[in-house]
Amino acid sequence: EQLVALQQELLQSLWQCLNPGGIFLYSTCSIFPDANSLQVENFLANNNDGTAKIPKIISVIPNNIICWF
């Protein structure tokens, strides 16, 4: 839970540094939804000004690892 909270802090802080039109890439080495898809969903819910968008899913690798592009 501490790492999930730290990830949330990092995402929010770094989002503020992104230039308009820039690409924000979030990547982890975790297989847990709390650090991956749920973290992205939470981030998008908290940054709902229309500028943060999740790209389309291009592939799902075994063990529920999702790749977006």
Per-residue tokens: 21: 């039109």
Structural contact between residues 56 and 68, judged by C-beta atoms closer than 8 angstroms: yes
Per-residue tokens: 55: 């790209």
Catalytic residue among 5, 23, 25, 29: 29
Give yes or no: 29 in active site.
yes
Per-residue tokens: 5: 């909270």
Structural contact between residues 30 and 45, judged by C-beta atoms closer than 8 angstroms: no
Active-site residue list: 29
